[in-house]
């Protein structure tokens, strides 16, 4: 009887050992995670969406000149008065080319001054986007002005200038305050009218656009966003 019990416990020991080892091995084996690639992919997509939303919500370029725009408008009204007394189209165009240089210098100075006061960079971030968006239409205007003058179609200059200036303001305005693209649309509308009406209205519409619109929106910008 004693021998039988001894044999019985030995048999139990033999069977219990592998079972315990097997259980330990099962616990040590890490579970497979088939969903890991999907989870990582979803997280990467979400990170990209976050980056895009952050870029879209980037700070607007608020250094658009208010009082500087008013000054540009006043100089345009003076140029329109001088240009109206010219007897040739070449003389008329020369007056407006001088005014374009004066307005560009005044606008650039006003932007730099306002950006410096607000501690905003002009050639990086939203300021860089603002400038680069405005330049292509402005350069196109220079090329077309020479082509129209050379081809004897100077009467189209008012419409082309107003239209392209409006396009540049709309493009640059996407990186600025909301009123800027609205101003650009008004210039585009004025330019379209100038291309459709009689050439005698060209100088008047230049005065209305580069003078009147610039003053009106300059005052709005100065009131809402500072000078």
Same domain? For 168 and 114 the reply is yes
Give φ, ψ of 87 to 5 degrees.
-95, -15
Q: How does pLDDT run across 175-212, given as a tens digit for each residue?
A: 888 899 999 999 999 999 999 999 999 999 999 999 99
138: confidence class by pLDDT, cuts 50, 70, 90: very high
With beta carbons less than 8 A apart as the criterion, state whether 117 and 108 touch. no
Same domain? For 28 and 73 the reply is no
Determine how many CB atoms are found less than 10 A away from the CB of residue 33.
8
Phi-psi domain of 226 (left: phi exceeds 0; alpha: psi -120 through 50; beta: other): left
Same domain? For 130 and 82 the reply is yes
Supply the pLDDT for residue 20: 47
Establish if 22 belongs to a structural domain: yes
Same domain? For 195 and 122 the reply is yes
Q: How much of the chain, in percent, has pLDDT values that exceed 90? A: 54
Establish if 107 belongs to a structural domain: yes
pLDDT at 11 over 50: no
145-177 b/e (C-beta count within 10 Å ≥ 16 → b): beebbeeeebbbbbbbbbbbbbbbbbbbbbbbb
Supply the pLDDT for residue 65: 82
- d(Cα 147, Cα 158) in Å, to the nearest integer? 14
Same domain? For 110 and 131 the reply is yes
Average pLDDT rounded to a whole number, residues 9-22 = 47
Same domain? For 116 and 181 the reply is yes
Average pLDDT rounded to a whole number, residues 126-145 = 91
Establish if 62 belongs to a structural domain: no
183 burial (CB, 10 Å; 0-12 / 13-18 / 19+) is buried
Supply the pLDDT for residue 19: 45
Q: How does pLDDT run across 40-84, given as a tens digit for each residue?
A: 666 667 666 655 554 445 567 777 888 999 999 999 999 999 999
Separation in Å, CA 186 to CA 73, 118, 190, 214? 15, 28, 6, 10
Domain hosting residue 29, numbered range: 2-56
Establish if 180 belongs to a structural domain: yes
Same domain? For 77 and 123 the reply is yes
Query: Residue 154 carries which DSSP code?
Result: G
Same domain? For 150 and 179 the reply is yes
pLDDT at 125 over 50: yes
Domain count, the chain: 2
Same domain? For 104 and 160 the reply is yes
Same domain? For 21 and 114 the reply is no
The residue among 33, 56, 79 that closes a domain is: 56
- Which residue reads 């005052």 in tokens? 219
Q: What token pair was written down for 63? A: 């250094």
The residue among 56, 78, 101 that closes a domain is: 56
Supply the pLDDT for residue 127: 80
Same domain? For 127 and 51 the reply is no
With beta carbons less than 8 A apart as the criterion, state whether 164 and 138 touch. yes
Establish if 61 belongs to a structural domain: no
Report the half-sphere exposure of 162 (CA within 13 A, side-chain side). 31
Phi-psi domain of 61 (left: phi exceeds 0; alpha: psi -120 through 50; beta: other): beta
pTM of the model: 0.72
Question: Which residues are paired to 176 by β-bridges?
Answer: 61
Establish if 10 belongs to a structural domain: yes
Same domain? For 84 and 40 the reply is no
């Amino acid at each position: 009887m004693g021998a039988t019990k001894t044999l019985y416990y030995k048999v139990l020991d033999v069977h219990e050992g592998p079972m315990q080892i097997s259980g330990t091995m099962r616990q040590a084996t890490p579970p497979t995670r088939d969903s890991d690639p999907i989870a990582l992919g979803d997280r990467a997509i979400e990170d990209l969406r976050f980056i895009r939303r952050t870029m879209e919500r980037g700070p607007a370029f608020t250094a658009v000149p208010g009082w500087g725009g008013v000054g540009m408008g006043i100089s345009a009204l003076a140029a329109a008065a001088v240009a109206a007394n010219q007897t040739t189209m070449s003389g008329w165009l020369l007056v407006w080319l001088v005014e374009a240089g004066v307005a560009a210098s005044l606008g650039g100075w006003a932007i730099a001054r306002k950006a410096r006061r607000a501690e905003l960079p002009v050639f990086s971030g939203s300021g860089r986007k603002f400038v680069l968006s405005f330049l292509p239409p402005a350069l196109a205007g220079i090329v077309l002005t020479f082509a129209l003058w050379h081809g004897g179609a100077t009467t189209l200059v008012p419409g082309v200038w107003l239209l392209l200036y409006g396009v540049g303001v709309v493009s640059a305005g996407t990186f600025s305050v909301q009123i800027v693209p609205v101003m650009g649309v008004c210039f585009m509308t004025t330019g379209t009218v100038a291309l459709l009406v009689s050439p005698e209205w060209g100088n008047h519409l230049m005065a209305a656009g580069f003078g009147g619109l610039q003053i009106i929106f300059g005052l709005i910008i100065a009131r809402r966003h500072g000078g």
